[in-house]
Amino acid sequence: MAEPTGRRPSAGDIAPVTPRGFATRAIRAAHRIPIVDQPPTSVPIYQSVTFTTADAAELGAVTTRQIAGYSYGRLDNPTVAAFAAAVAELEGAEAAFAFATGMGAIHGALGTLLSSGDRIVATQASYGTTRAQLLNVFGRLGVRVDFVDVTDLAAVEAALALAPTRVLYAETISNPTIVVADHAALAGLAHRFGATYVVDNTFASPYLCRPLELGADLVCESATKYLSGHSDVMAGVVVGSASLVGRVRDFEVDTGASLDPHAAFLAMRGLSTLALRMERHSATAATLSAWLEAQPGVTRVWHPALASHPQHATAARQLARGGGMLAFELAGGRAAGEAFIDSLSIPARTASLGSVFTIVTHPPSTTHRQLDDAALTAAGITPGLLRCSVGLEDVDDLIADFARALAAAGSVTTPATSSPALGEPARAEPTPV
């Protein structure tokens, strides 16, 4: 009886050869594809780099995307494609393409659009590694980078009018200062000046905000965070129109930030509970923020659900909920922040965000360690600023733990260094870099 090959028959098939040698039989036996007539309830992990085709012509057509299919893992993978398609549906996008990390996704989106001599206007309040990528990678390659306070629409308009601009870049909720960007207004300005509007939506997730529906052209997500939600996988994704995402895919094929299929499987598992988790994250963060705002030794708290937040009205109009991220400033400065973190018993002393467990970090020494004191001040990041990713623990337990940590931080008398309020940086024209 002919041995199954694991692929559909073709008129171009030659007569099968029955192998006799042990090594040949072992290889064929270990790669024989099982026949499954019952559809699985979870997307299978296609842990394969290569895929067979009926003949050389089909292989060429699949590789060059003349017909749908798979040939090589760097070009695409069924599990990875299923994850990207699921995110596209949740984001309200025509298409999506997945990357190995969130920074890979940002690099893919911006690298697709920017060339030497181009200009990008980017939010002053941004993730430290994003800022470093803009300056140290794209800046070194001849891209002009100007930073602006995206909450000051007049300043954004002035920045766009200053010189031709290829990209306007913003974060839905900024890392770590919780500045909320008005996507509808920013997209309108970008398009009026011929720029492409690119958004990092990681802090919000598509459950809270879908920037494409508000006018954005490309949206990046670090799926490491809320999309997967369990701190056990790294992934990123870019969503947008089919034409733009097709260009992003071509860029990734040439640069190689491919997502592993097992990581795609884990990230896809997280999507199923995204709504439930974001509701709990948001509710607990709102309660914890209101409690912190009333505590001595806390000079200010930033969470979109608080009436005191500078962009509270924008958040109420644009976000489904306030989200799970908050920031607060301690009167004792850096030393108080360190004492607070070291006194916590529930949050682990670790990095990242968007997980089932609460994480408290000190941005000047972690996420924004690349910035010098002047850049930190310009971004509204004070020495005593703490960023909190609120997890799924019971809120009463978190409040009790935070109360003990505040007591410990209160024994520190180092004064905080003054700086602009978060979301309210000094008004100035963007400085070319």
Name the active-site residue from 74, 232, 250, 269.
74
| Tokens linked to 81 | 């494609």
| Catalytic annotation present for 225 | yes
Q: Helices in 178-273 by DSSP H: which ranges?
A: 183-192, 205-208, 242-255, 261-271
3-state helix, strand, coil in the chain (%, to 5): 40, 15, 45
Q: 321, 214, 217: which is closest to 274 by C-alpha?
A: 321
- What string of DSSP letters covers 329-384? EETTHHHHHHHHHHH-SSSBS----SSSS-EEE-GGGTTTTTS-HHHHHHTT--TT
Q: Which residue has the tokens 């509710």?
A: 283
Name the active-site residue from 76, 182, 200, 260.
200
| Catalytic annotation present for 74 | yes
The whole-angstrom separation of Cα 241 and Cα 183 is 17
Q: Which residue has the tokens 């990207």?
A: 84
231: left (phi over 0), alpha (psi -120 to 50) or beta: left
| Catalytic annotation present for 127 | yes
Q: Which residues contact 215 (CB under 8 A, 6 or more apart)?
A: 183, 184, 186, 187, 188, 191, 197
Q: 44, 25, 110, 81: which is closest to 258 by C-alpha?
A: 81
- What string of DSSP letters covers 248-297? HHHHHHHH--PPPHHHHHHHHHHHTTHHHHHHHHHHHHHHHHHHHHTSTT
Q: Which residues contact 63 (CB under 8 A, 6 or more apart)?
A: 71, 72, 75
| Catalytic annotation present for 131 | no
Q: Which residue has the tokens 């890979």?
A: 104
Name the active-site residue from 225, 247, 280, 387.
225
Question: Rounded to the nearest 5°, which phi and psi values hold at 281?
Answer: -55, -50
Name the active-site residue from 46, 70, 127, 197.
127
Q: Which residues are catalytic?
A: 74, 127, 200, 225
